[in-house]
Every structure is written in C-alpha cells, then in structure tokens.
Chains A and B, each alone.
Chain A
Amino acid sequence: MIAPVTVGLIIFYFYPFFRVIRDSLHDIGSFDRDLGFVGLENYITMMHDTEMWQALGNTFKYVAIIVPLSLVFALLIAVLLNAKIRGQSFFRVVYFLPAVTMSVAVSMVWRWIFNGDFGVLNSLMTTIGLEPRQWLSDKSTAMLCISIVSVWTNVGYYMIILLAGIQGISRGYYEAAEIDGATPFQKFYKITLPLLTPTIFYVIIMLVISTFQIFSEIYMMVDQRSKAMKWTQSVVMHFYRSAFSYSKKGYASAVAVLLFVIIMALTIFQMKMQKKWVNYD
C-alpha cells in the first residue's frame, strides 16, 4: 500500500535531494552541461555575492514584517468572530476569499493599485493632500507593499485555523471566569491566549516556512530588470534567477542548499523555544 507514494518520493524527492547537494559541488553550464567537480567553489562564490547577502537580508525582513502582522490580524479577527456576532459565516467566507484566490492574480491587481503614475492609491493620497509615491520602485516602500499583499492573503487562512483552535477551548473555563467577574480582556489574556499557544505555535511555524520562500508576489510585482529587484528580491527569487534566467544551475543548487539549511535551523530553533511558551495540558 505504500508502494506508490514511496516510489514517487524516491524518484521525485529523495533522488533530487542528493542530486542538489552533488550539483552544488559541480560547475553546471548552459543546457545542463556538467563541467566537472569544483568542490566548494559555488559556496565560496555565494559568500562573495553581494546580491545573495542582500536577498538573504531581505528575506529575513519579509519574515520579520509578514509573520507578526499576519498572526496579529488573524488572531484579532478570529477572536472577534468567536464572539456572538451576526453574520459570522458571511464574515468567515469573505475573509477567506483572499486565501483561495491565485496569488499571481492578486499580485497583479495590487501592483496596479500601487502603480506610481496611474494607481488608485496615489489618487487617494493626492485627494487627502499627501505626496504621491512610486510605491513599488521606492526603496523605502517597495518591500512593505509586497509584504502587505502577502499579509492580505495570509490573514483569512490562518484566521480559520486559529478560530478552530479557539472553539476547541472548553466553555467551562470561560463560565468559571465570568462567575469571578472577569472582563473580556482578562478572559483573552488569561484563558484564550495561553490555551491557544499550541495552535499559535503551529501557525508561526507554517508562516515562517512559507514566508521564507516568498516568490510569486515579488515575481509579479517587481520587474526583473528594475533597480527595485535588488532591494526586494528574496532568496527564492535569487535562486530562480540564478537557475533559470542566468542558467547557473550549480550555483543555484548551492543557494537551494543554503535555503534548506536556514529553514531547517529556524524550525529547530522554534521547536526548542516552544518549551518556554507553549502550553500543552
């Protein structure tokens, strides 16, 4: 019964895993021609590649912006929807909508909204008396704009997971707290938040892993030839460009190995830290 999955995993995942590591030690030219073993040369090139360092720094910034914002908004909406609200199912559906729509299509509209010359955002800025901006090519705003799009898609999805977590908390705790006269804020801080930590932990792990691989939003919103690419590209974007735009597949394999090692390290670090703040009863 395990044969189909196992055979498929061996061909398309186990073999590629070792192949990437091997390729990262080789020089691979255009048309996938293997030009031989070069030891750690690709890794040394990577260490001296300023674009790589910038991409890595950008990626950490994306994580630092997107993960907390997505979590806070998702949690806020989940808590509000958990209260006795009219039209709860309507709200759930509307908030989930961004999560089911293709991020490529979504990035295209946002790009249009943020457009520096004809965008609706700048129009709005001028009407309320603010300076219009070149949102997506300005160094100080480009990354933030991309992050907003990503948060916009994440919130509804993780809100559903958090809401399920909140609804799994036994009513008994809240009833006891109400008898003791607890305010809604006290109930949130003393009951909901601590008992929700396992779900929050899961959400953070998933958010970090997916944000670290942010790609399609950047690909769709920033021109590859534009200057802004330098200060918005992520590690995966850099990987894609090395592998498929510049056809440096040995080097790209080294980038992939680095990506894997960092995500692994971040996940292990979070697993270790969870003892400090996650409650399992």
Chain B
Amino acid sequence: MNKKNTLSKVIVYAILIGGVLVCIFPFLWMILTSVKTNAEALAVPVKIFPAKIRLEGYQNVLTKLPFLKIYLNTIISALVTVAAQVTFCAMAGYAYARINFPFKNFLFTATLAVLMVPGTFFILPQYRIINSLGMLNTIPALFLPNLFSAMGTFLLRQFFLSLPQELEDAAYIDGCNRGTVFFKIMLPLVKPGLVSLGILTFRFAWNDLMWPMVVNTSTEKMTLSAALSYMQGQYITDFPGIMAGALMAVIPMIVIFAIFQKQFIEGVAHTGIKG
C-alpha cells in the first residue's frame, strides 16, 4: 500500500512539474531570444544561450516605438475602464437586486440580452460612433464603449442578492438612509464581487486587440497589444527586438499578478460560483 502511494505521488508530481515547464518555457524563450543578436537568434541548430547578453533588441524597440507613451495609454485605458465599470455596475447591480422602479424587469431583461451577444458584433457601429464624435486616435476612444458592462451589472446583482435582506432592514430601523446603507454596509460586503469584476475587466482591457487596433492607428495613441501587432508587421525580421517588445508588454501584468495573486485567483474562482 505504502509503495503504491509513493508511486502515485511520483506520477502526480511528474505531471504537475511537466505542466509547469510547458507553462514557463515560452517566457524563458522570450527572455533568452530578447538578449541575443539577430544572428544568434537565427542560428541553426538553435543556440539556447547567447554568447553575451545584448540589449540591442530593447534599444531597437525603444527607438522605433514610443514605448513609454504606449505603456501609459494602456495603463490609463485599463484603470479608467476598471474604475468606471466597478462603480457603475455596483450602482446598477444594487438597484436591480434591491430597489423597485418602473420598467425594472424590462430593463433588466434588456441588459441580460446584451450579455448574449458576442462583443465583436457591436464593433462596427461603435467604431462609427467614435468616428462621428471625431475621437479616432484619442485615448478616450480606447475605453469609452467598455465603461458600461452588462456582464458586470449581472455579476454584482448576484452578489447583492446573496446578502440577507434583514441586514439592510436592521440598518434602516437604526435610522440609516439608503446612501449610508449602500456605501457603509452593502458595498463592503460585496467586496469579493467588486474585486472579481475589477480583475476580469483589467485582464480584458489590458489584453484586448481588435478594438484598440481599429480605433487608434497612430503609434502615439496605441495600447500595448496593438503596438505589438504593429511591430510584428513592421519589423518582422528583428527577432530579438520583437521578443524584447513582447517581454516588456507582459512584465507589468506579471508584476501586478505577483502582487495581487490571491485576489486574482479568488476573483476568478468567484465568477465560476456566482455566474
């Protein structure tokens, strides 16, 4: 029995460690290629390590693209999207969960209907709206349609619904008004929901490709993902440069993940349970 247990432990660890290698190899390869010379990158058979660490790839990217601006664009776009979505969806989610108002069912059903439609579907008219507002190639164009989320409204409504009504009633008896109840009692209790939504939204805003690529074509106004696709098209033969760019694009997200890993993982876990 004991022998069998050890054997199965070994198999389990072997699978898990094999998986870890598959997960991190592309990152390692990105790092290694980014510090090679182009000749080393193109060597056949492949050289795993460069003879000397070179930063030309990084220099190339930084001189060809306004990378700092692009970072800033991506950060602004992601943060504004998260802040607006969490605020607006918390308000609407609470109202749909707890307040009666005319046309509530109709409006809620309409909101759910949006949830059923793939995001790509809306892109052409959204593009036209941004265009007619004269906002192509501006920072707000990157986030404007994403500030409003049917998914977030639904998610947070579920969180508010799961809180006991008595809690609120007790607060009203103690003389709290709706504002105090919402900010002081309800919001803190749905914090896991707010975090989940914030993380999902951040991940989406950071990684989205088609929308930012379509609205902003000037390199000064691009997000990281659009800039990478632009770079790959323009400098297809500069492999260390391309890998340096890719690495610089993923590092901030990895740092943020390293800091908030618990929130990330719990946030994602919650969406499965509540959604």
Contact = CB atoms under 8 A, between A and B. Distances in A.
Contact of A259 (B15, B26, B42, B118): B118
A62 interface: no
Interface string A208-227: 01001101100110000000
A102 B124 contact: no
B107 to A, nearest CB: 6
B62 interface: no
Interface string B236-275: 0001001100110110011001000100110011111101
Given A96-B261, A100-B203, A152-B23, 18 more contacts: A5-B149, A17-B121, A20-B124, A97-B23, A102-B250, A103-B207, A104-B207, A104-B228, A108-B228, A112-B242, A112-B243, A160-B268, A164-B273, A213-B118, A215-B210, A244-B214, A253-B124, A267-B116
Interface stretch (B51-59, B63-71, B93-101, B161-169): B93-101
B122 A17 contact: yes
Contacts of B110: 9, 14
A5 B225 contact: no
A38 interface: no
Nearest to B267: A160
Given A32-B131, A103-B207, A113 B26 contact: yes
A12 B126 contact: yes
B2 to A, nearest CB: 15
Most buried by A among B41, B96, B268: B268
A216 B239 CA distance: 19
Contact of B96 (A2, A94, A110, A219): A2
Given A12-B129, A109-B26, A109-B30, A4 B148 contact: yes
Task: Give the contact-size bracket for chain B.
Answer: 35 or more
B89 interface: yes
B12 interface: yes
Given A14-B110, A77-B16, A127-B45, A106 B121 contact: no
B210 A216 contact: yes
A203 B124 CA distance: 29
Interface stretch (A135-143, A170-178, A235-243): A235-243
B23 A118 contact: no
Contacts of B95: 1-2
Contacts of B275: 202
A118 B42 contact: yes
Interface in B201-247: 203, 206-207, 209-210, 214, 224-225, 228-229, 232, 239, 242-243, 246-247
Interface in A258-278: 259-260, 263-264, 267
B19 A260 contact: no
Contacts of A219: 209, 229
B24 interface: yes
Nearest to A257: B121
Interface residues of A, number: 88
Contacts of B272: 160-162, 164-165, 199, 202-203
Interface stretch (A40-48, A63-71, A85-93, A187-195): A85-93
List the 8 shortest-distance A-B pairs measured between CB atoms, nearest first.
A8-B148, A161-B272, A164-B269, A16-B125, A123-B46, A105-B246, A1-B95, A19-B125
A85 B12 contact: yes
B148 A260 contact: no
Contacts of B224: 102, 104-105
A23 B125 contact: yes
Nearest to A91: B16
A104 B122 contact: no
6 contacts: A1-B94, A5-B89, A97-B257, A101-B27, A109-B29, A164-B272
Given A9-B148, A94-B23, A4 B91 contact: yes
A106 B122 CA distance: 26
A130 interface: no
B20 interface: yes
A199 B203 CA distance: 22
A83 interface: yes
Nearest to B43: A118
B119 A213 contact: yes
